[in-house]
Amino acid sequence: MNTQFWVVQAFNGVSYGALLFLVGSGLSLIFGVMRIVNLSHGSYFLLGGYVALSVINATGSWALSLPAAALAIAALGIAMERLFLRSEGFEYLRNATIALGLAILFTLAFQSWQPHIVGSRSEFAVVAAIAAVLFYGLLSRISVVPIETDVLRQVLLTVGFAFLFQQAALDIWGGNNMDINPPAVLTQSIVVGGIYLPLYRVFMIATAIAIGVVLWLAMEKTRMGAAVRATVDDAQMARGVGIDTNRISMFIFALGAFLASLGGVIGGAFLGIYPGLDFEMLPLAFAVVIIGGMGSLGGAAIGALAVGLADNFGKALFPEVSYFTLYAPMVLILAVKPTGLFGRE
């Protein structure tokens, strides 16, 4: 337990916090703007890592995989938000998506029951197409439960998507633990005062700071940022003064997915990418959001730092209760101030 131990642990904690900031800040903004508890946020992290792996396999470029994965998952986030969470105006597309999904499941079931009828691919496509049309006709006759005001239904819906994403990732990328290898430049170490610091972790911290500063500037200095802040404070009032909260919620959801998947690519280099990582990151991201305060960017930064340090020192100093020491303060903060340390009422 010398100085070196403390410095190294603190450095690891801060760099882990940098990663958590990427995941947590998006979750926090989504909650602040839309009041949605998004349990598929961990899936964006995991899927981001997987997409990056595919990009690296195809092109060999790690640098390209960062924006490619983040943009792909942001598009997925937009689709999820537009079609299912705020589906006004997109009812037909939503029904079509569900009908297609149901039709494929139905055809798969039919196939395993009567393999001689649905043998070839073309037969499969025909049966699925017929089923899709029938399901679409049925679905367009059933009214959808309004979930905009129902927190529990939103939560369960996002969990359902998390399960779907989990299985899809397993089917596409398999169940093995995979690593994202950053370029050799970043795998070196630098020596500061006799202590070896991995350059990759320095890169993580720098990235998080850069993104944090850009986000902060966008939030505080631009018109769009002001509109976002207004929506966090009072969505109804914001609508009243002519802010298009619908567009803002879409934008924020995409941003959240973008940041989380970026975190997945960056974090994949030292966490690895494996099934189950989604539900491991999710509670940590929530800890960040809750400690920092929901909808607050500065809060997310402090929350991420706190969780990163608490996690690292907890595991090093008292491993047996390390997660407890992480989540217990979260409970206390929530009990005293439900909106989190820096959340606004």
Partner 1 sequence: MVSQQVKILIVVASLALLAYIVPHSGSFVVLLATRTMAFAILAMSVDILLGFTGLSSMGQAAYFGVGAYLTAVLATKFHFGMGWDFWLVVVLGMLLGAALAALFGLFAIRAGGVYFLMITLALGQCVWGLAYRWNSLTGGDNGINLSGRPNFGLDLGNDVTFFYLVLAFFAASMLTMYVLVRSPFGRSLAGIRERELRMQILGYNTWLHKYLAFIIAGGFGGLAGVLWAHTNGHVSPETVVLTTSVDSLLMVVLGGAGTLVGATIGTAIVFGLREYLSTLVPWWQYALGGVYVLTILYLPMGLMGVPRRIRQWLGSHGGKEGSKKLATKPS
Residue 178 per-residue DSSP state: B
**Would you say 313 or 327 has its CB closer to partner 1?**
327
Q: Which residues in the 305-324 window bind partner 1 by CB under 8 A?
A: 319-324
Does 175 engage in binding with partner 1 (CB under 8 A)? no
CA-to-CA distance for 194 and 160, rounded, in angstroms? 49
Out of 21, 161, 258, 342, the residue judged to bind partner 1 by CB under 8 A: 161
Does 279 engage in binding with partner 1 (CB under 8 A)? yes
Does 177 engage in binding with partner 1 (CB under 8 A)? no
Locus of tokens 């195809």: 58
**Would you say 92 or 196 has its CB closer to partner 1?**
92
**Would you say 195 or 334 has its CB closer to partner 1?**
334
Does 326 engage in binding with partner 1 (CB under 8 A)? yes
- Reference 300, options 29, 12, 14; nearest CA is 29
Structure tokens at 291: 């400690």
Q: Which residues in the 227-256 window bind partner 1 by CB under 8 A?
A: none
CA-to-CA distance for 108 and 104, rounded, in angstroms? 6
CA-to-CA distance for 255 and 78, rounded, in angstroms? 9
Out of 159, 218, 226, 316, the residue judged to bind partner 1 by CB under 8 A: 159
Out of 232, 285, 287, 297, the residue judged to bind partner 1 by CB under 8 A: 287
Q: Which residues in the 103-122 window bind partner 1 by CB under 8 A?
A: 105, 108-109, 112
Out of 3, 60, 142, 223, the residue judged to bind partner 1 by CB under 8 A: 142
Structure tokens at 78: 């937009």
Does 185 engage in binding with partner 1 (CB under 8 A)? no
**Would you say 258 or 286 has its CB closer to partner 1?**
286
Q: How many residues bind partner 1 (CB under 8 A)?
A: 52
CB atoms near residue 13 (< 10 Å): 22
Out of 283, 298, 316, 341, the residue judged to bind partner 1 by CB under 8 A: 283
Does 290 engage in binding with partner 1 (CB under 8 A)? yes
Cβ of residue 232: shortest distance to partner 1, in angstroms? 14
Out of 4, 114, 167, 188, the residue judged to bind partner 1 by CB under 8 A: 167
CA-to-CA distance for 129 and 126, rounded, in angstroms? 5
**Backbone φ/ψ region at 176: left (φ over 0), alpha (ψ -120 to 50), beta:** beta
Residue 341 per-residue DSSP state: S
Does 192 engage in binding with partner 1 (CB under 8 A)? no
CA-to-CA distance for 45 and 268, rounded, in angstroms? 9
DSSP track, 323-344: HHHHHHHHHHHHHH-TT-SS--
Cβ of residue 158: shortest distance to partner 1, in angstroms? 9
Does 172 engage in binding with partner 1 (CB under 8 A)? no
Q: What string marks each residue from 37 to 66 as x (binds partner 1 by CB under 8 A) or -?
A: x-x---------------------------
CA-to-CA distance for 104 and 135, rounded, in angstroms? 11
Beta bridge partners, 195, equal 192
CB atoms near residue 313 (< 10 Å): 17
Using DSSP's 3-state secondary structure scheme, residue 194 falls into coil
Are the C-beta atoms of residues 220 and 290 closer than 8 Å to each other? no
CA atoms within 13 A on the CB side of 264: 40
Residue 142 per-residue DSSP state: S
| Positions that interact with partner 1 (CB under 8 A) | 35, 37, 39, 84, 98, 101-102, 105, 108-109, 112, 142, 144-145, 147, 151-153, 155-157, 159-161, 163-164, 166-167, 170-171, 279, 282-283, 286-287, 290, 319-324, 326-328, 330-332, 334-335, 338-339
